[in-house]
Amino acid sequence: MNTTTIAEITRKSGWAPLRKHLGAKAFGVNGWTGNAGEQVIAKHAEARTGQEELYVVVSGRATFTVDGEERDAPAGTVVLVPPEAEREAKAAEDGTTIVVVGGNPDKAYRAPSFETNAVVIELFGEGRIEDARELLRAVPEGEYADYETIAYNLACCEARLGNADDAFPQLERALTGRPDLVELAGKDDDLSALRGDPRFDELLAASATRG
């Protein structure tokens, strides 16, 4: 039996990586904590992944907005959201914590790359690009259902470290599997070092045609 508390593993961002910490394999589960007025659950939908998400307000009070409909959610509220619905939640009280459980109704669960990328974004914010690169390089092929975002962030690391020849294969890997990342790549400051290279425009143009 594995146990923890949300407070013990909550990171600076308010994210508690429960699935990864506990080693759950059948479903995703994370905790999010914020204070009054803060975004606890970012606005998003899961149409691409097809994942259902169950939200449990375990402390405090939140305001959920699902497809434009607001719902007051005191502690004890449970909200089930289908994949295609756009959802977000803001804390209405300090110390609001929401546990999120997710999975696909028609296939076995595979963890999302978010679990690594969330840490990478923190490292980017601290300027620890080499540490971010090593974390991304350590991710085994096939660990995540959406490895393309691991490759994308690895390309960003290599670009920021001045390693264009290492960045381009990773960026190609990312955009081949996820043509929807082309727009982001075109304006991402993390890739600015690649923009003077003709390979950059060629890669974006080829990937855009696949999208």
pLDDT in tens, 152-205: 999 999 999 999 999 999 999 999 999 999 999 999 999 999 998 999 999 999
Q: What percent of the chain has pLDDT over 70?
A: 100
Q: Distance between CA 132 and CA 145 in Å, rounded?
A: 20
Residue 210 has pLDDT above 80, yes or no: no
What is the residue whose two structure tokens read 């594995």?
A: 2
Q: Read off the pLDDT of residues 35-48 as tens digits, 9 standing for 90 and up.
A: 999 999 999 999 98
As separate numbers, helices (DSSP H) first and strands (DSSP E) second, the chain gives 8, 9
| Burial class of residue 96, CB neighbours in 10 A (0-12, 13-18, 19+) | buried
How large is the average pLDDT for residues 53-66? 98
- The DSSP 8-state label assigned to residue 85 in this structure reads S
pLDDT band at 86 (very low <50, low <70, confident <90, very high): very high
**CATH node for 6-103:** 2.60.120.10
Better-scored residue on pLDDT, 140 or 158: 158
Q: Taking residues 94-104, what's their average pLDDT?
A: 96
> What are the boundaries of each domain within the chain?
6-103, 114-210
Please compute the mean of the pLDDT values over residues 74-91 and round it to a whole number: 98
**Per-residue confidence (pLDDT) for residue 143, from 0 to 100:** 86
**Residue 207: predicted pLDDT:** 85
Indicate the pTM of the whole model.
0.82
Q: What is the maximum span of the chain, computed from C-alpha positions, in angstroms?
A: 55
- Confidence band, pLDDT 50/70/90 cuts, at residue 141: confident
- Which has the minimum average pLDDT: 25-39, 62-76, 104-118, 164-178? 104-118
- Residue of 206 and 209 predicted with greater confidence: 206
Q: Measure CA 96 to chain center.
A: 20
Across the beta sheet with 28-34, the strand order is: 15-16, 28-34, 96-103, 52-59, 78-81
114-210, CATH topology level: 1.25.40
Q: Contacts from 154-163 at CB under 8 Å and sequence distance 24+?
A: 155/191, 156/124, 156/188, 156/190, 156/191, 157/129, 157/130, 157/132, 157/133, 158/133, 159/190, 159/191, 159/192, 159/193, 159/194, 160/129, 160/190, 160/193, 161/129, 161/130, 161/133, 162/193
Query: Average pLDDT of 94-121?
Result: 93
Do the domains 114-210 and 6-103 match in fold?
Answer: no
| Mean pLDDT of the chain, nearest integer | 95
